[in-house]
Homo-oligomer: A and B are copies of this chain.
Amino acid sequence: MRVTEIRIAGFGGQGVILSAVVLGKAASIYENGFATMTQNFGPEARGGACSAQLVVSDSPVLYPYVTQPDIMVVMSQEAYNRFAHELKPEGVLIVERDLVRVSNMNRDKKVYSVPATRFAEELGKRMVLNSVMVGFFTAVTKLLSPDAVRKAVADSVPASFRDLNLKAFEKGFEYGNTKLAGSPATPEFEEVAYEKE
């Protein structure tokens, strides 16, 4: 597991921080890896914007700030507008399909989208959308072992919501695998419609 920089961004209440905590824990459970999660609070936090920086590595992380993410998970349009340009060339962008409209994105990026909020609502609780996102992330990035992430999910949510969050994880994970299987020739499919401008 080489050094991988990840940014997760959205608005308060979507579980941005919890998603980063789950992935960070999974990295440390998985092959004794390391991770740091950093959250910045500034005046913009008053507006409800929420963003986490996660660095995972197979050795202790010396610099926890993310400058050019390899992977970006975006759950609001505001977050997209603010952060999308930072994504590394050939980086991976994961978006909440119903909340983010992808535009002005170079075609060297891999873009994956998932209707996580809708899936979470179908499962009965909108608040598990972050576990759907985490499952989808696990499938499409293949950065972490699915079992490590499952354990981290189970370990990070209140006991009374454990089963529901694990179901949400599986929903996102299966959806991600289906998306990958749907494009056997090239994993760099772009299933999001780009805005014509």
**A interface with B by C-beta (< 8 Å):** 12, 17, 21, 24-25, 27-29, 32, 34-43, 45-46, 60-61, 64-65, 155
Contacts and interface: CB of A to CB of B under 8 A. Distances in A.
B45 A40 contact: no
Contacts of A25: 41, 45
A61 B65 CA distance: 11
B12 A28 contact: no
Given A27-B41, A36-B39, A38-B64, 19 more contacts: A12-B155, A17-B17, A17-B21, A24-B41, A25-B41, A25-B45, A28-B41, A28-B42, A28-B45, A29-B45, A32-B42, A32-B43, A34-B40, A34-B43, A35-B41, A38-B38, A38-B39, A40-B60, A64-B64
A25 B45 CA distance: 7
Contacts of A28: 41-43, 45-46
Contacts of A35: 40-42
B64 A42 contact: no
Given A17-B21, A64-B65, A155-B12, A40 B36 contact: yes
Give this chain's copy count. 2
17 contacts: A17-B17, A24-B39, A27-B41, A28-B42, A28-B45, A29-B46, A34-B40, A34-B43, A35-B40, A36-B38, A36-B39, A37-B38, A37-B39, A38-B38, A40-B60, A42-B60, A64-B64
Contacts of A12: 155
A87 B190 CA distance: 51
